Amino acid sequence: MSNIKWKRELENTKRFQYSDDDLQNALEEIRQKKLSLSAVSRKYGIPKGTLFNKIKGKVPLIRKMGPDTVLTVAEEAQLEKWIIEKALLGFPMHPDELKDSVQRVLKTINRPNPFVDDRPGRKWLKLFLNRHPKITQRSAEIISKARASVSEAGIRNWFQELNEYLQHENCAEILNDPSRIFNGDETGLQTCPKTGKLLGPKNYRNFYEIASGPEKECITVLCTFSAAGDSAPPYGCVSL
């Protein structure tokens, strides 16, 4: 392989090794004349020609390579925000959950796409992560029930993380308003509850009482109350 061809291939592999956020920050520093074009290029690793062309409006600000994405930039930004906020609340998202959500959206809006049954695959996920470097995939740590059980330290840590999250969202004042703090708990009500004690022969075990419906059927009710003493309408789940 000639040195010229090898150099070209090496240059191609170095293209676009920067994020959109880096590009926006670099252009902003140039506009505000904080640094020279060469200094900004070295700081962010963006070619001077790229910065010059984008400042002069010769090329679009947002780079675009390959075919159009199935979701718009705004839609993918909403997905990114959802994934990050969900993880900050302690519920990191499984890749299948993300794919299923995209599938439901595409089926709802009936948008043409190359996916099988409107569900994106591994390639889409990989490209999505490349477009959103704030999101990463990590192996989940499996913990036992004993480690996952509630403890004083765990509760204090949860409230600390909640406080940090609310401060990050600029809504920490919620903690000072009892009417905005709610707690919910669910309970199951059997449609065929167990009866009381029955009378019969001392050594006879087969004590049955005929029920009017399935013995394991129940209604689940979620009751929610605020720290101010107000109650929200109950939410019930019944079998149909």
Has residue 147 been placed in a domain? Answer: no
Same domain flag for 84 and 157: no
Neighbours of 171 (CB within 10 A): 11
- The domain of 99 spans 73-131
Question: What are the tens digits of pLDDT across the range 142-192?
Answer: 565 555 667 788 888 888 988 888 898 899 999 899 999 999 888 877 776
Sheet holding 182-190, edge to edge: 182-190, 218-226, 231-237
Confidence label for 6 from pLDDT (cuts 50, 70 and 90): very low
CA distance 237 to 220: 5
Same domain flag for 126 and 159: no
Question: What are the tens digits of pLDDT across the range 117-150?
Answer: 999 999 999 999 988 888 888 776 656 555 566 7
Same domain flag for 167 and 223: yes
Same domain flag for 172 and 228: yes
Same domain flag for 112 and 156: no
Same domain flag for 219 and 162: yes
Which percentage of the chain shows pLDDT scores above 70? Answer: 72
* Residues 6 or more apart whose Cβ sits within 8 Å of residue 103: 115, 117, 118, 119, 120
CATH number of the domain residue 33 falls in = 1.10.10
pLDDT at 1 over 50: no
CA distance 91 to 163: 16
Please state the domain count of the chain: 3
Same domain flag for 160 and 218: yes
pLDDT of 195: 56
DSSP lists the bridge partners of residue 44 as none
Same domain flag for 173 and 220: yes
Question: Which amino acid is located at 177 in the chain?
Answer: D
Distances (CA, A) of 180 to 156, 186, 224: 20, 20, 12
